[in-house]
Amino acid sequence: MGRTELNSLKRILLLDGEGVQVVCMARELNKLGCEVSALCAQKVSSGYATKYLHHRYKSPDVRLQEEAFKSYFYEHLKEHKYDLIIPMGDVSAYFLSREKEAVEQQYDTPCAVESDATFELANDKQKLMEVCKRYDIVHPKTRELSIESLDSVADYVGFPAMIKPNLSAGARGIVKVENKGELHTKFPPIAKEFGKCTLQQYVEQPDYYYNVMLFRRRDGKTAASTVIKIRRFFPLKGGSSCYSETVEHPFLLKQCERCLEKLNWHGFADFDVLEDKVTGELKIIEINPRVPSSLQASFAAGVNFAKIFVDEYLGSGAEVFDMSYYKVGQQVRWFGLDVMWFLMCPQRFSFRPSWFRFWGKNVSYHDGTLADPLPMIAGSLQGVVKYLDPNFRKAKLKG
């Protein structure tokens, strides 16, 4: 059951093709005999540089030029036939969810993303927290903010707390507040820039957090999952994983599966989960409704999400992964980001395992391999350019 016959070439299009997750996804799709293309906003990037892409197309940036990207996207589909489209980033996933019905009807091309209404429930942080509260799924106290409700919301959530835009990528716009005075001062400019926001209970976490990757089949069964403990991240106040370890966590997995069940979700989802340093309670913070930058960790654990995508959308359905083959203790690094961590973190020399442990049978990298080294170089250059931009640093590091 669930085995795809790849006798005919399967053509896959990746959106946000410059992302680091493209490196391992394109590699594994290649192994399945697929022809992989990508729309990339930047040429100097990990995804664009990987040798596993057969075709690269420089497109407008969907994050900055949505209308221009939309025009380019549909013109591209007129000229190229694809069997499956997979978004690789937050904004491209949001874009594709809105265009899913039109693309599938007009071009007969499946889109590996949920439809707009279901996608919105997961992508909007406030709506997700409402689902978690309704069904008693672990989450922090959260309530939507408005100028009129600041004091009453603060009384419910308490302090310290986090102002969080309902729709934003990464840590952009997230600011910690200690009291009502700070809330009144900091909320208006954040709301002006990002739109609707929530106030969320601040979780005093240890020096790690969890990431849970799941693929839920049409029949409601989990095809596969991966849980990682993220132990180094950048920015230091809470950012993307630059070092993680694969772990098992049955309770956390069940909570995330229950959340997807209540959302009636089909496809891939990626959860960020914090652990309260004092109580040990787990709190689902958000769902990224697309593959994350830490996707390589799943392949290191023996979970082939690339095959699951192909089987589910182009075959007779994804098989349920045999978890007895799941590998714990796999160490996965994003070297370009890990260099930034090393430069900025006071614990650079005391952290264990050592930052200087570059090789080992259980060590792999998000951003390349010895057989495919250019993504690591290009991604590192891209990261330097980003952090030289004062607007980017302000958005990612404030709070």
Q: What is the dihedral of CA 361, 272, 27, 94, to 10 degrees?
A: -170
Residue 1 domain-assigned (yes or no): no
Sheet holding 10-15, edge to edge: 55-58, 34-40, 10-15, 84-87
At 137-180, the pLDDT tens digits run 999 999 999 999 999 999 999 999 999 887 765 556 788 999 99
pLDDT of residue 1: 34
- Do the beta carbons of residue 225 and residue 192 sit within 8 Å? no
Of 83, 78, 26, give the one whose Cα is nearest residue 55.
26
**Residue 232, beta-bridge partner list:** 243
Domain final residue, candidates 171, 201, 231: 201
d(CA 62, CA 59): 8
**227 lies in the same domain as 353:** yes
Tell me the three state secondary structure of residue 62: coil
- 215 and 192 in a common domain: no
CATH at residue 219: 3.30.470.20
Looking at the fold, whether 70 and 49 belong to one and the same domain comes out as: yes
44 belongs to a structural domain: yes
Judge whether 125 lies within some domain.
no
- In Å, what is the CA distance from 250 to each residue of 193, 196, 209, 284, 294? 39, 34, 16, 15, 20
What is the edge-to-edge ordering of all strands in the sheet holding 331-333? Answer: 282-288, 267-275, 209-216, 222-234, 240-247, 331-333, 363-365
Asked if residue 157 is part of any domain, the answer here is: yes
182-191 tens-digit pLDDT: 999 999 999 9
The answer to whether residues 304 and 217 belong to one domain is yes
State which amino acid sits at residue 5.
E
**144: amino acid identity, one letter:** E
What pLDDT is recorded for position 3? 43
State residue 386's pLDDT score: 66
Do the strands 363-365 and 331-333 form a parallel or antiparallel pair, or are they unpaired? parallel
**Greatest Cα-to-Cα distance within the chain, rounded to the nearest angstrom:** 64
User: Are the C-beta atoms of 122 and 287 separated by less than 8 Å?
Assistant: yes
Q: Which residues span the domain enclosing 163?
A: 141-201
> For position 171, what pLDDT does the model report?
59
Q: Give pLDDT, residue 168.
A: 64
- Provide the pLDDT for residue 313: 97
Q: Which domain-ending residue is among 74, 95, 114?
A: 114
Question: Taking CA 46 as the corner, what is the angle to CA 45 and CA 52, rounded to the nearest 5 degrees?
Answer: 125
In a domain, 172, yes or no: yes
The gap from C-alpha 168 to its chain's centroid, in whole angstroms, comes to 12
- Measured distance CA(147)–CA(111) in Å, rounded: 39
Whole-Å CA distances, 331 to 324, 348, 366, 375? 19, 17, 11, 19
Residue 231 and residue 373 share a domain: yes
- Total of domains in the chain: 3
- The verdict on 229 and 296 lying in the same domain is yes
167 lies in the same domain as 51:
no
**How far apart are alpha carbons 110 and 96 in whole angstroms?**
11
Asked whether residue 236 falls in the same domain as residue 379, the answer is: yes
Coil, strand or helix at 74: helix
Q: How far apart are CA 378 and CA 46, in angstroms?
A: 5
Tell how strand 10-15 and strand 34-40 pair up.
parallel
- Number of helices followed by number of strands (H, E) in the chain: 14, 15
| Same domain, yes or no: 268 and 307 | yes
Sign of CA dihedral 253, 255, 257, 259: negative
Q: Kindly state the DSSP code that residue 181 receives in the 8-state scheme.
A: H
- pLDDT by residue for the chain (399 residues), tens digit each? 344 444 578 999 999 999 999 999 999 999 999 999 999 999 999 999 999 999 999 999 999 999 999 999 999 999 999 999 999 999 999 999 999 999 999 999 999 999 999 999 888 888 899 999 999 999 999 999 999 999 999 999 999 999 988 776 555 678 899 999 999 999 999 998 888 899 999 988 899 999 999 999 999 999 999 999 999 998 887 788 999 999 999 999 999 999 999 999 999 999 999 999 989 999 999 999 899 999 999 999 999 999 999 999 999 999 999 999 999 999 999 999 999 899 999 999 999 999 999 999 999 999 999 999 999 999 888 777 766 666 655 555 444
- Pair (103, 166) in one structural domain: no
Q: Residues 230, 379: one domain?
A: yes
Instruction: State phi, psi for 312 to the nearest 5 degrees.
Output: -70, -40
Flag whether 122 is in a domain: no
Nearest-Å Rg of the Cα atoms of the chain is 20
Same domain, 32 and 87: yes
- Residues 357 and 359: their CA atoms lie apart, in Å, by 6
Q: Could you tell me the CATH number of the domain that includes residue 29?
A: 3.40.50.720
The rounded distance, in Å, linking the Cα atoms of 252 and 398 is: 30
Query: Where is the domain boundary, 149, 178, 201?
Result: 201
**C-beta of residue 194 within 8 angstroms of C-beta of residue 173:** yes
